[in-house]
């Protein structure tokens, strides 16, 4: 489970609720027509923009923002280097018995143990990456589309409320409900777009980039294993995928810099 997403949603919700209660009665912020207009309108437009299967599938993709924990690139490199040592010592066929922590890595090991050609391995794994990114981009676009539609329906609700208010100025009792629709729809649209839909789209984009990085490491490692590259050389080549500060191992606290002897005259 992604703790950052949970903290963000929980913390933001708490701040909104506190602001509402400190400002007065919380019931004035609930208006059913406004909710129906913004929520229902956003969903309706989303079905117009995208295929039904894409909209439904996007909610399954969204669960990755909450439940899926991506593999650490450093741990992935260490695992692939370990497979390299096994292949170097026992041959590629030995990889058939190994269990990878990642389904994509398991597929790469299967290709290697089955003796696939290097070009075929690279082509099939790279195609898998492209199709995965494409599927992820559909889910991101669905939530971005919802993020664009929600404020628009908030503005539509505001215009509806203003029309109702101006058409019944002679009846003071109707001005309040009309103003509630006018203002709350804008609030609901802004909250849904900027607190739910757009942040989820950004998180899914980040998840997609992280998955692409891990899979790129696996592809590079599979090619190196197939070529018979030594574990040390492969590890150095894979570290290029990491940030510069992650490439060098951290020094232990008890390690000291070597003392340099200074000659005195």
Number of domains making up the chain: 1
Q: What is the pLDDT of residue 50?
A: 93
pLDDT in tens, 160-189: 888 878 877 777 776 777 777 788 899 999
Helix (H, G, I), strand (E, B) or coil at 135: helix
Asked, for residue 259, whether it belongs to a domain, the answer is no
Asked, for residue 230, whether it belongs to a domain, the answer is yes
Q: Which domain holds residue 208?
A: 31-241
Helix (H, G, I), strand (E, B) or coil at 104: helix
Q: How far apart are CA 223 and CA 123, in angstroms?
A: 11
Asked, for residue 22, whether it belongs to a domain, the answer is no
Asked, for residue 44, whether it belongs to a domain, the answer is yes
What is the mean pLDDT of the segment spanning 232-242? 90
Asked, for residue 16, whether it belongs to a domain, the answer is no
Q: What is the pLDDT of residue 257?
A: 47
Asked, for residue 261, whether it belongs to a domain, the answer is no
Q: Which residues contact 167 (CB under 8 A, 6 or more apart)?
A: none
Asked, for residue 157, whether it belongs to a domain, the answer is yes
Asked, for residue 254, whether it belongs to a domain, the answer is no
Under 8 Å between Cβ of 192 and 35: no
Phi/psi of residue 203, nearest 5 degrees = -65, -40
pLDDT in tens, 90-147: 999 999 999 998 889 999 999 999 999 999 999 999 999 999 888 888 889 999 999 9
User: For residue 256, what is the DSSP state?
Assistant: -
Q: What is the pLDDT of residue 249?
A: 58
Q: How far apart are CA 166 and CA 56, in angstroms?
A: 40
pLDDT in tens, 189-219: 999 999 999 998 998 888 889 889 999 999 9
């Amino acid at each position: 489970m992604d703790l950052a997403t949970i903290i963000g949603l929980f913390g933001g919700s708490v701040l909104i609720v506190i602001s509402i209660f400190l400002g007065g009665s919380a019931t004035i912020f609930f208006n059913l027509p406004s909710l129906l207009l913004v929520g229902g309108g956003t969903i309706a437009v989303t079905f117009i923009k995208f295929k039904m299967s894409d909209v439904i599938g996007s909610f399954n993709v969204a669960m990755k923002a909450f439940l899926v924990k991506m593999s650490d690139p450093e741990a992935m490199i260490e695992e692939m280097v370990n497979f390299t040592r096994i292949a170097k010592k026992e041959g590629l066929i030995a990889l058939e018995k190994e269990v990878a922590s990642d389904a994509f890595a398991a597929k790469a090991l299967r290709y290697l143990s089955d003796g696939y050609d290097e070009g075929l391995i690279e082509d099939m794994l790279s195609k898998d990456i492209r199709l995965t990114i494409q599927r992820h981009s559909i889910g991101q676009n669905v939530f971005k589309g919802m993020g664009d539609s929600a404020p628009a329906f908030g503005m539509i609700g505001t215009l509806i409320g203003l029309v109702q208010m101006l058409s019944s100025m002679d009846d003071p009792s109707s001005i309040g409900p009309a103003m509630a629709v006018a203002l709350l729809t804008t609030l609901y649209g802004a909250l849904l777009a900027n607190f739910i839909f757009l942040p989820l789209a950004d998180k899914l984009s980040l998840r997609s980039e992280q998955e692409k990085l891990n899979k790129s490491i696996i592809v590079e490692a599979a090619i190196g294993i197939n070529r018979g590259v030594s574990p040390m050389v492969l590890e150095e080549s894979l570290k290029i995928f990491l940030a510069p500060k992650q490439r060098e191992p951290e020094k232990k606290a008890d390690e000291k810099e070597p003392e340099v002897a200074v000659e005195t005259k």
